[in-house]
Amino acid sequence: MRVLGFLAISLWLVVDPAQSQAGPLPRFRPALPATGPAGLINQIDREGLLKKGQKEVSVMFCCGITTSGGILWSRTYRATPGGAALKAELERCLEKARFSPAVYEHQPIQAVYFGTVVFGVVDNKPRLRIFGNQEISELLKENDFIGPQPIIGAGSKFTALHYPENISVVISGLGYLVLKIDDAGNLQDLQIMAEDPPLSGFGSVAAVDFHGAKFIPAFRDGDPVSSNITLPVFYEP
């Protein structure tokens, strides 16, 4: 079964902040990879991956985006089998890539971007896609959907992802949260769905980190919408 290599991009392609026209900022705008030379999609070495024999794979990632479009931190996770080369290349490029910053209530704001990078080979040529969400159902349907993004500031109680201090074994893991968020970015409901490894406590930690969070709302076809998502939150020592 093919992974997701032939899906269309389900995010907005935006110009670099420096290239955008001056004018009033919208009420909400999600953080998005820039499309200029410093944009993530242009940083990844497609031909190099092809030469390394990279097959069709996907890798999820998240990163903290500053109010000027820089990356504060980044994490990669949930690579499909055989995705080591793409994961390593993504990690290299995230160190220097640029984003269009998020906007909340007409002001630039720090936010966390959750995305998926998909690499495929079509007619012996590399094909790269970046999606602005981690919802498998949205990816498979090729929807124009950008997932909600937690913000730092503006009354949001989300401050960071905090690795648990009392964990008995130092490991990396995931807490899966089910989030209901309205079209103004308000968290309506939060439930722990699962954690990996089981009984690791990462689900509870994720619930604490996201309790009281505010978000850039999800966007569908260019407009803010309410959403119900399952978010994999990755923790590493």
Assess if residue 1 is contained within a domain. no
Domain hosting residue 22, numbered range: 17-235
Assess if residue 7 is contained within a domain. no
pLDDT tens, residue by residue, 13-48: 333 444 444 579 999 999 999 989 999 999 999 999
The residues facing 231 across adjacent strands are 177
Assess if residue 8 is contained within a domain. no
* pLDDT number for residue 23: 79
Ranges of residues in the chain whose predicted pLDDT is under 70: 1-22
Q: How many domains does the chain have?
A: 1
Assess if residue 88 is contained within a domain. yes
Backbone angles phi, psi at 53, to 5 degrees: 85, 20
| 47, 49, 53, 59 alpha-carbon torsion, rounded to 10° | -140
Assess if residue 52 is contained within a domain. yes
Assess if residue 10 is contained within a domain. no
Backbone angles phi, psi at 47, to 5 degrees: -65, -40
Assess if residue 5 is contained within a domain. no
* pLDDT number for residue 22: 59
Report the chain's terminal Cα–Cα distance, integer Å: 34
Question: 0.85 exceeded by the pTM?
Answer: yes
Which residue from 16, 177, 179 is spatially nearest to 98, judged by alpha carbons?
16
Q: How many CB atoms lie within 10 A of CB 228?
A: 12
Assess if residue 113 is contained within a domain. yes
Q: Reduce the DSSP state of residue 201 to 3 states and report it.
A: coil
